[in-house]
Amino acid sequence: MAKDESKFWQEVKKNIKQISFTRLESWASAGVPDLLCYNEKGKFFTIELKVEKRKKLTFSPHQISFHMKHSSNTFILAKALVPLSIKLYEGRDILKLVNREPCSRLPNHGPRSRNTLSM
């Protein structure tokens, strides 16, 4: 994980308490998302953390391949620094994100919502 994404990971871990997170080591397998997650409903899912630089999200070919192959229960949590915002996308939308096409993001329930990432 890059430096900005490591800081973002610390924010996520500190502020989202209703989900159990396990940080995955990216060197173990190229393209595997940053986090393995388990929610209150007993569901596992993965999250790729991204910090937007220069108004564009960047993904490696391995990350794109992972999200295309595993289109269910995968998410991309993207933080833009200017203006500051955090958006959650389904992994199946990765090509739209890469091509900067409009895609639907999941509803914003706010940082205190108990529905965050509940599937």
Looking at residue 74, which CATH number applies to its domain?
3.40.1350.10
Give whole-number Cα distances, 32 to 12, 27, 45, 94, 117, in Å: 18, 9, 12, 14, 19
Asked if the model's pLDDT at residue 51 lies above 90, the reply is yes
Q: What is the pLDDT of residue 62?
A: 94
Residue 34 · residue 67 · CB < 8 Å:
no
Q: What is the pLDDT of residue 2?
A: 72
Please choose, from the candidates 103, 69, 68, 70, the residue with its C-alpha nearest in 3D space to the C-alpha of residue 89.
103
Residue 79 placed within a domain:
yes
Under 8 Å CB-to-CB from 100, ≥6 apart: which residues? 56
Number of structural domains the chain divides into: 1
Mean of pLDDT values over 15-23: 94
Range of the domain at 73: 3-98
Residue 113 placed within a domain:
no
Residue 106 placed within a domain:
no
Under 8 Å CB-to-CB from 107, ≥6 apart: which residues? none
Mean of pLDDT values over 94-102: 86
Local structure of 86: helix, strand or coil:
strand
Residue 18 placed within a domain:
yes
Mean of pLDDT values over 16-43: 90
Residue 105 placed within a domain:
no
Residue 112 placed within a domain:
no
